[in-house]
Amino acid sequence: MNDLAAMDISDAEPLTLHQRDRFPDDLLDVPARDLWRHLPGPTLFRIEGREQSPLFVTVLLHGNEDTGWEAVQAVLKRHRGKPLLRRMLLFVGNIAAARAGVRTLHSQVDYNRAWPGTLHPAAAEADLMARLVDIVSAARPFASIDIHNNTGLNPHYACVNRRDEPFLHLARLFSRTVVYFDKPIGVQSAAMARVCPAVTVECGRAGATAGTAHAAEFVEAALAMSHFPDHKVPDHDIDLMQTLAIVKVPPEATFSFDGSSADFRFRGDLDHLNFAELKPGTVIGHLGRGMNERLAVVPGGCSDDVATYFTYDGGEIRLAVPAIPSMLTLDANAVRLDCLGYMMHRIGRDGKRLPD
89 forms bridges with which residues in the sheet? 46, 56
Nearest distance in Å: CB 65, Zn ion: 5
Least spacing, CB of residue 150 vs Zn ion, in Å: 7
In sequence order, the β-bridge partners of residue 56 are: 89, 144
Q: Quick one: which segment of 6-14, 56-64, 74-82, 119-127 binds Zn ion (CB under 5 A)? A: 56-64
Interface mask (CB under 5 A) for Zn ion, residues 297-336, using x and -? ----------------------------------------
Establish how many alpha carbons lie within 13 A of residue 289's alpha carbon, considering only the half-sphere containing its beta carbon.
3
User: Which residue, 256 or 333, is less far from Zn ion as judged by CB?
Assistant: 333
Residues 9-38 that bind Zn ion (CB under 5 A): none
Binding residue count for Zn ion, defined by CB under 5 A = 3
Contact call for residue 214 and Zn ion (CB under 5 A): no
Contact 324, 343 (CB under 8 A): yes
Residues facing residue 3 across a β-bridge: none
CB closer to Zn ion out of 187 and 262: 187
Answer for which of 87, 99, 113, 148 binds Zn ion (CB under 5 A) is: 148
Q: What is the DSSP string of 276-331?
A: --BPTT-EEEEE-TT-----EEEE-SSS------EE-GGGEEEE-S-BEEES----
- Positive or negative, the CA dihedral 129, 130, 132, 133 is positive
Q: Quick one: which segment of 147-155, 182-190, 291-299, 341-349 binds Zn ion (CB under 5 A)? A: 147-155
Phi and psi torsions of 50, nearest 5°: -70, -55
Query: Contacting Zn ion (CB under 5 A), which of 13, 41, 43, 62?
Result: 62
Please give the residue ranges that form the binding site for Zn ion (CB under 5 A): 62, 65, 148
